């Protein structure tokens, strides 16, 4: 009995203090205190963002421990599934506050980061270590087919909404910047909503995916296991596309919020081109550092484009009515 108690205590200490990121855990209560005392939205946002990293990383750690008792494929599925828990939690909180554009853009950013940044890093570091890597072509074709299916599910609502709402674009557009308020403090500067939600929030808030599954994908590729690396990166993006988006729409419906999959043309184009690009690369059955560098470069280009993207105009009039950013 004492041994079990001692073992449980040791495990609890390892979970709480086993990562240096856990030093940021006090930022969570500090963020709540700062918001309660009215110290400033900028401080509250930065503290909350910092606290999100260790919490998400611990999800990844718990997933990895569970994956040790399963097969490699099941482990990759667990990493992809529970790594997406952060996005779903953030989406639910944003839906409750009526931040529907944040939900759309953060989920979009998660797909882009997994397909371009995570997969690109896996190909790049795997190629640096092993030159050209080979992986199962049939499995890659299956991944590509599911990705294309995800692209279709995103394009159809966008096309349907084009004719219905083109004449009803709302004029009461709020500021296209998320100025250091509840969502977007960034060192005293005004940051575009599109960049914060699509680039910054997925990278920081998706720490479980990038600190565990993403590094897992890179490590697997470096160990010449590109099939598993692709399973982690592409599997996560597929789950967000086919599960995360629909689940968020259903959750918004339960809250009485009119969330839809109808995004702006630029955002839909980025998603579709990314998916089609990756779906074109995967069936080749080979990867190298140049393909990885190409994917990473494409992600950087898209990130810079979102920095100047005007997301204040949304086609869904119902969503516009509920777009509360401050």
Which helix (DSSP H) or strand (DSSP E) does residue 192 occupy?
A: strand 191-192
pLDDT at position 95 is 87
pLDDT at position 181 is 40
Residue 205 lies in a domain: yes
CA distance 143 to 309: 30
pLDDT at position 281 is 86
pLDDT at position 221 is 58
How many residues are present in the chain? 326
Which helix (DSSP H) or strand (DSSP E) does residue 25 occupy?
A: none
Residue 46 lies in a domain: no
3-state secondary structure of 155: helix
Residue 19 lies in a domain: no
CA distance 181 to 196: 12
Residue 213 lies in a domain: yes
What total of structural domains would you count in the chain? 1
Domain that holds residue 177: 59-321
Q: What is the CATH number of the domain that holds 173?
A: 1.20.1420.30
Tokens of 130: 């092993």
Residue 37 lies in a domain: no
CB–CB of 195/307 below 8 Å?
Answer: yes
CB–CB of 276/124 below 8 Å?
Answer: no
Q: What is the pLDDT along the chain (326 residues), one digit of tens a residue?
A: 566 666 767 767 776 666 777 788 888 888 888 888 878 777 887 787 777 777 777 776 777 777 777 776 677 677 666 767 777 777 888 888 888 888 888 888 888 988 898 888 888 888 887 778 888 888 888 888 888 887 787 777 766 665 554 444 443 333 333 333 444 444 444 667 677 777 777 776 555 555 555 555 556 655 667 777 787 778 878 888 888 888 888 888 888 888 877 788 888 888 888 988 888 888 888 888 888 899 999 999 998 888 887 665 444 434 444 444 44
Q: DSSP assignment of 197-218, as one string?
A: IIIIHHHHHTHHIIIIIHHHHH
Residue 13 lies in a domain: no
Residue 252 lies in a domain: yes
Residue 32 lies in a domain: no
């Amino acid at each position: 009995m004492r041994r079990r108690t001692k073992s449980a205590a040791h495990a609890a200490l390892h979970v709480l203090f086993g990562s240096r990121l856990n030093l940021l855990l006090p930022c969570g209560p500090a963020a709540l205190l700062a918001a309660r005392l009215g110290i400033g939205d900028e401080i509250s946002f930065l503290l909350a963002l910092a606290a999100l990293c260790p919490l998400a990383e611990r999800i990844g750690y718990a997933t990895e421990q569970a994956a040790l008792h399963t097969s490699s494929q099941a482990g990759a599925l667990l990493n992809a599934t529970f790594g997406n828990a952060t996005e779903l939690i953030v989406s639910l909180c944003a839906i409750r506050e009526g931040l529907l554009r944040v939900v759309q853009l953060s989920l979009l950013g998660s797909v882009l980061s997994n397909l371009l940044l995570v997969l690109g890093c896996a190909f790049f570091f795997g190629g640096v270590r092993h030159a050209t890597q080979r992986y199962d072509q049939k499995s890659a074709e299956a991944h590509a087919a599911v990705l294309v299916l995800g692209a279709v599910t995103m394009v159809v609502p966008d096309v349907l909404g084009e004719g219905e709402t083109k004449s009803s674009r709302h004029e009461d557009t709020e500021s296209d910047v998320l100025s250091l308020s509840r969502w977007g403090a960034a060192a005293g500067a005004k940051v575009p909503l599109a960049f914060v939600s699509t680039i910054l929030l997925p990278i920081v808030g998706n720490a479980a995916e990038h600190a565990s599954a993403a590094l897992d994908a890179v490590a697997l590729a470096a160990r010449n296991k590109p099939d598993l690396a692709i399973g982690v990166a592409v599997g996560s993006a597929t789950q967000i596309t086919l599960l995360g988006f629909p689940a968020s729409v259903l959750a918004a419906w339960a809250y009485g919020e009119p969330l839809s999959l109808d995004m702006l043309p630029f955002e839909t184009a980025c998603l579709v081109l990314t998916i089609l690009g990756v779906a074109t690369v995967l069936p080749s059955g080979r990867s190298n550092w140049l393909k990885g560098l190409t994917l990473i470069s494409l992600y950087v280009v898209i990130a810079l484009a979102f920095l100047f993207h005007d997301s204040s105009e949304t086609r869904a009039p119902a969503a516009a009515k509920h777009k509360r950013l401050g």
